[in-house]
Amino acid sequence: MEIEQIEADGVTGLRVHGWEVTSCHRPILSNTSIEEHTAELGFNVPEMIFGDNYLRIRHIASGKELSFRALDALRMVDTGPLSAKAVQVSIARDWFESRRMRGIPVVNPFDWTFSTRYRGTSNLDFTTSTSGIDYERLKVREDILFYDENILFEDDLGDNGTSQLAYKVRVMPSGFFVLLRFFLRVDGVLFRIYDTRL
């Protein structure tokens, strides 16, 4: 088995069995980039957005790939007219009422928890599986050829909780495992977890 390690400019990974798995770690976006993405998305982005971070899994021969990126995930945040009210902290009702009484409209509503059901960006065709994950196979002890975890975005929701999108990847001789997790905690209100597993 031939393994080629990849390490360059914040990108680590490997090429093995005709696949390339790369993970990129870069700093939080600059203020200029944040302003550009805020304008593009139509809402304020999370406090800590690692917009240049990514995980990419590419089949070298076919060019087919799957990637996980913060900005693609944020494009799936609800911006409908009721989105800002979907999850509320205890003081939200008083805040909305004070604005309504003064005639101040809510402009550019969006899901302030940044909840997203993002499952990756891909040029692959997926079909629904009924078999699920083979957990017994995951329990088999194998050498881990590459492991990484990375945060794509995180926000403390104005000191009312935590919203985070992060991934973990593990590559073994027999295959790879990816976990993309959106985690939300709104203090005293709810927990929400959306997992994508490959």
Tens digit of each residue's pLDDT (9 = 90 or more) over 50-108: 999 999 999 999 999 999 999 999 999 988 876 666 666 666 666 666 666 555 666 67
Q: Distance of alpha carbon 69 from its chain centroid, rounded?
A: 6
Residue 133's DSSP bridge partners are: none
pTM: 0.87
Own/partner pairs, 174-177, CB within 8 angstroms, 24+ separation? 174/137, 174/140, 174/142, 176/19, 176/21, 176/57, 177/138
pLDDT tens readout for residues 64-75: 999 999 999 999
Are residues 166 and 181 in contact, defined by beta-carbon separation less than 8 angstroms? yes
**Rounded Cα distance, 82 and 179, in Å:** 30
